[in-house]
Every structure is written in structure tokens, then in C-alpha cells.
Amino acid sequence: MFDYFLQQLIFALAIGAIYGLIALGYTMVYGVMRLINFAHGEFFMLGPYVYTFVFSGLVGLGGLAPMLDSALAIVASFVIIGLLGVTIERFAYRPLRAYGRLAPMLSALGMSIVLQSAVRVTVGPQPVHFPAIVASEPIAALGGMVTTMQLGILAAAILLMVGLTLFVNGTRLGIWIRAASESWTTSSLLGIRVNRAVSLVFFIGPGLGAMAGIMYASYYGIMQPTMGSVIGLKAFTAAILGGIGSIPGAMLGGFLLGAIEVFGTAFLPILSGGLIGTEYRDVFAFAVLILVLLFKPAGLLGETISEETTVAKKDY
Amino acid sequence: MGTSVIARRAGLLATLALCVILLALVPKLPPYYVRVADSILIYIILAVGLNLVVGYAGLLDLGFIAFYAVGAYAYAFLASGQFDIHLPFIVILFIGAAAGAIAGVLLGFPVLKLRGDYLAIVTLSFGEIIRIAINNADELTNGPQGIAGLDRASLFGLPLTSPVHFYWLLLALAIIICASVYYMERSILGKAWRALREDQDVVRGLGINTTTLKLLAFALSAAIGGAGGVIFGSFQRFVSPESFTFQESLLVVLIIIIGGVGNIVGVIAGAIVLVVLPEVLHFAAQYRLLIYGIVLVTVIVLRPGGLVSPRFNLSFIIRKVRNLWLSPSKT
């Protein structure tokens, strides 16, 4: 039982790390703009596609060492998709700032359709094989089996999360982002270029989403244009679970959602005597979300919205 | 002056007559166009229903399609060989509306203290839970295969079989619902909802129970969704979880936003645009969705407040018409 538990735990951590990375994009964008960026799942989907494009381009040009090619392609995907995020914000969201919160949200929805169908039209709707970046070899540890892939994903994700935390808490630009999330008007009065902070968030968020997409595709060996929809929705749930707007909350929410899903799937049928099968996995995740919100209406680490903030007063 | 009033009255009458003639001519079109018209009317009904919650009360409901599913499955359970129950259509229409309302209250009661995006995500989760539950409760719903061979509906002895029959039914229902919502909008209830949208705390401070107010909006909109679902079920004579995805919920929200939030005329325009657009884009084959998305973003960026200006609403039109007849000098 213990080795089974351990295996499931590693799996939960790996998938949770991926959710967490995507959730970070949702939560940071929400933090500065109070916008549910429905297009965010598509950045996750674009990650492996851009990676493949750049990687095969490098190899086609003669290439360097294989590992170096991969590393370059990963960095390039981050930058390309980050810039795409900045561009989309500039043209599809920024003109809508003065028009409440529904219009940008729906614009994001339209962008999601655009990005997804653009990939479908150019690459094709069918799932494509995605070669593993790190060879997946099983390692026996503490009586259980984990793969190098799982450990690699976990390590890379934690590295990115630590990096982001250091960046947001320790650098000047990070302070801009935090100030803009705190109060738009006050920070602009204090001379912070809020628009730059927003652009920065729209660079980092989609970039992290793309990294998560590469990890996910690498883990399952497959990529397809629709992969962003469901995962994006789940990662958004994770962001809400942790308290939307909160960066540590998104990480926590991601890992928590991973754990709920994996352990729910693994142990629920055993515990309920086969009554509730694995097909209820998503119901379980959503039900936990509703329960958490009923008792902690602002999520686990979210700040309780004070009655005075206009955002809270006027729902939509 | 006299002639100009007469000319304007004549113009108005001509416009009205043209509208009526156009609506009456739709059934003469080839079946494909009638189906599109049916689809537009269904979405008008759904969007007017959801508009009560999103547009008037200012609560974002992203799981609206769940109530539609409740209505559709009510018809599937009560008018098919599934449980060998065969109730008449009109009875199920009311049962579906009631079931929708009950589902709305059941969802609304625990979650309405949540605000803004948290409410949005909980309604979204609720919609997904309903869909996944339908997908997996095989003994009850046949799971993903859905329930086929639903009864042919009839209303007061008239059969409801062809798209033309449904066109008249949907048109009547859409008019009834739009009229009721219009009167609700102008009643004290509508004003209370609007106040709620602007500032919940002030409403509460005035001694109005905001939870009851929200619950009422939720229940009414869910009832309309349920009734729409019953008609959808009887029209398709087949229901499956595929029709009730998150994307459908979003489409209804999109109709409201594209048309103009809180404005019945806008909602009607939004439904027409968003149902007709994909049909028109059939020529573009695989580029259809891409163009659809681009058009969508462009429209929102260019007209963030919706296609129809908030001033051009039903009461504006009615006032115009009334003034032209009763006191022409004012217009």
C-alpha cells in the first residue's frame, strides 16, 4: 500500500506542479487586471507546438548538441509565447479597460477561439506525437517506482516557482507588479508605470503556461489543439481554490488540485466499494472547490475582499 | 406639420407591418432557414432568461446551460421509452420550468453569498458537475449515448413535428417571455435588481434582503432555461450531454454581451448575430472558427458596450410609438 501511495504522491505532485504553473498565469493576470483570462489555456497548448517548431528548425539548421537545442527551444517558447501574450493584451484587452469586466473577459474568450483554431488550421486538428525532452526512466525509490520524467517536471516547476517568487518579492519590476495588483490608481500616482507592469504580467503568465504545456506534452507524449481547454479550466479552478490574485495561493491550489484528483481517482473507488468510479474525478475536484469556497469565500490564501472595495461591490 | 405626423405614423405602421410579414414569411423559407430561425429563437429565450441574472442583478452565471439540461432531460425522462412515461408536452413544459427553478434555488441558496468571480466559478463548476453526472449516470441517462426516440410533442391536439411548428411555438414563447421580462424590468423588482447590480451594500442598507432578491433572479432565469430545455428536447427528440457543455454556457453569456447587457433588444440582436454568423461562415470551411473568433474579438473591441446602444431598448421603442400616436407634438 505504501509504495502505491508513494507512486501516486509523486504523480500528484508532478501533475499538481503543472496545474500550479498554469494557475500562476491566471492569478497574476487577475491580480493586476481583475480579468479572467479565458485565453490562458491556449498559451499552455501553444507551448509544445512552438517548442516543436523551434526545435525542428534548429535541428534543420544543423543543430548544436541535442540538449542545447532543447534548452534553446524551451527558452524560445517562453519568449515567443510571452510576447504573444503581451501583444494580445495590447490589442484585445487594453482598449476595453474602461468598459467593465465582462467585455475583456469575452474578448479573451474570442482570443481563445482564435488561437485554438489557428493551430487547428495550420498544424491540423489531430493529436501529434511529442518526443520526450528528458528520457523517462523508472527509478526505484523507497520501495516505489518514480520516473525521471516526473522528477524532472517537479524540479523544473519548483525552480520556476521559486524564481517567480524571488522575482516578484525581490526585484524592482516585481514590486511594480505587486503594487499594480494592490491598487491601480495608487500605484500610478506613485509613479509606477502600471501599463508596463501589466505587460510584464502578460509576458510571464503565458510564458509559464507554455512551460507547463511543454511539461504536460512531454509527460503524455502527445499534443493537440484542444488540450488547453480542459486543463485551463482545471488550472483556473486551482487558482480560485488557492485564492485568486495570490501567487503562493496559485501554487498551493495547483498542488492541492493535483492531489485531490490523483488520490480521489486512486482511492475513491476502493473506499466507496466501487460505488463512485474514477469517472467522477472531475466532479470530485469541482465539489471540493465549491465546499472550500462555501467556508472560505475568498479561497485558501486569498485576501478577504473588504466591503469597501468597489470591485467587490459591483459584481459585473 | 399634420402631414409629417401622418407620414411618420404611416412609416411606423409600414415598419411594424414589415416586421410582422417577415416573421410570418419565415415558415415559407426552405427548412434549413426555418431551423436557423428556430435556433435563433431558442437562444433568444435562453439569453433573455440569463439576462435577468447577468444583466439586471449583475451576477455572472457561467453554468446557465445546466438548467437547460435539466429541462431537456425532464422531457427525455417524462416523454420517452426510457422509463415508459409519456406525459403531454404542455405538462412537461411546466415541470421543466419548475425543475429548473428548483435547481436554481438549490444552487443559489448556498452560493449567493459569494461575490463576483467566485460566484462565476462556482456556477461554472455546478454546470460541469451536472454535465459530468449526466455523462456517467448510465442507468438513468444512458450516459454519453444520450436518450433517443423521445415522443413527438403535441400542443392542444396540434402536432409539433416540423421545424415550422416549432417556429410558431418558439416565437409565441419568445414574445411571452420578452413581454414578461419587460414588465418585470419596469416593476419594483426590476428596480431592486438594478440597485443590486450597482451597489449591493446600499441595497442591504435600505433593508432589502439581497439574498432573496438574488435567489429570485436565479430561480426565474433557471425556470426560463428549464422551459427552453424542454422545447429543445422535444424539437431534437434526442438528448445527450454533448449539448450542454461549458462552451454553450459561454455562448449564451456572449450573446448578452455582444448584444448589449440588460437590454432585451440587444439580446435579440446578439442572438441573431451569433447564431447566423457561424452559418454564414460555412463557406470558409476549416477557417470558419478562426474567422468567427476574429470577428468576435473585433466586434467586442470596437463596440465594448454591445452592438445595440443601451438607450435603444424596449421601453424607448414603446415610448416612441405611444408618443407618435397620443401626443405627436412631443416626438
Domains of chain A, earliest start first: 2-313 (1.10.3470)
Cβ-based contacts of A114 with chain B (< 8 Å):
290, 293-294, 297
Q: Is this complex's ipTM strictly greater than 0.85?
A: no
Q: Is the pLDDT of residue B61 over 50?
A: yes
Give yes or no for A67 touching B (CB within 8 A). Answer: no
pLDDT score of A252? 92
Which band of pLDDT confidence, cut at 50, 70 and 90, is reported for residue A305?
low
Q: Which pLDDT tens digit goes with each residue over B94-106?
A: 988 999 999 999 8
pLDDT score of A312? 41
pLDDT score of A212? 94
Residue at grid coordinates 430561480: B219
Cβ-based contacts of B290 with chain A (< 8 Å):
113-114, 117-118, 120-121
pLDDT averaged over every residue in chain A: 84
Q: Any idea which of A29-33, B261-265, B284-288 has the lowest mean pLDDT?
A: B284-288
Q: Among partner residues B124, B132, B286, which is closest to A283 by beta-carbon distance?
A: B132
Distance CA A224, CA A148 (A): 24
* Cα angle value B247/B252/B257 (rounded, 5°): 115
Which band of pLDDT confidence, cut at 50, 70 and 90, is reported for residue A311?
very low
Residues A316, B201: C-beta atoms closer than 8 Å: no
Residues B304, A240: C-beta atoms closer than 8 Å: no
Residue extents of the structural domains in chain B: 32-244
Distance CA B150, CA B167 (A): 19
Q: Give percent of chain A above pLDDT 90.
A: 30
Give yes or no for A128 touching B (CB within 8 A). Answer: no
End-to-end CA distance of chain B: 12
On whether the CB atoms of residues A284 and A261 are closer than 8 A, the answer is: yes
Q: What's the rounded mean pLDDT across residues B240-266?
A: 85
pLDDT score of A276? 62
* Cα angle value B96/B279/B265 (rounded, 5°): 60
Distance CA B68, CA A128 (A): 36
Q: Which pLDDT tens digit goes with each residue over A83-126?
A: 999 999 999 998 888 887 788 888 998 899 999 999 998 988 88
pLDDT score of A290? 81
Which band of pLDDT confidence, cut at 50, 70 and 90, is reported for residue B290?
confident
Give yes or no for A275 touching B (CB within 8 A). Answer: no
Cell, residue B196: 443590486
CB atoms within 10 A of CB B242: 11
Instruction: Of A292, A235, A266, A264, give the one whose Cα is nearest residue A37.
Output: A235
Give yes or no for A39 touching B (CB within 8 A). Answer: no
Candidates B107, B125, B251, B254, partner chain A, best to mutate (most A CBs within 10 A): B125
Instruction: Of A194, A203, A202, give the one whose Cα is nearest residue A175.
Output: A194
Residues A114, B290: C-beta atoms closer than 8 Å: yes
Instruction: Of A69, A42, A65, A39, give the one whose Cα is nearest residue A53.
Output: A69
The chain A residue lying nearest B291, using CA atoms, is: A114
Distance CA A71, CA A74 (A): 5
Cβ-based contacts of B294 with chain A (< 8 Å):
110, 114
Q: How many A-B residue pairs are in contact by the CB < 8 A criterion?
A: 146
CB atoms within 10 A of CB B29: 15
Q: Is the pLDDT of residue A128 over 50?
A: yes
DSSP code of residue A209: H
- Point out which residues pair with A139 in neighbouring strands: A146
Work out the burial of residue B226: count CB atoms within 10 Å of its CB; fewer than 13 is exposed, 13-18 middle, 19 or more buried.
buried
On whether the CB atoms of residues A236 and A36 are closer than 8 A, the answer is: yes
On whether the CB atoms of residues A210 and A203 are closer than 8 A, the answer is: no
Q: Any idea which of A72-86, B28-42, B234-248, B316-330 has the lowest mean pLDDT?
A: B316-330
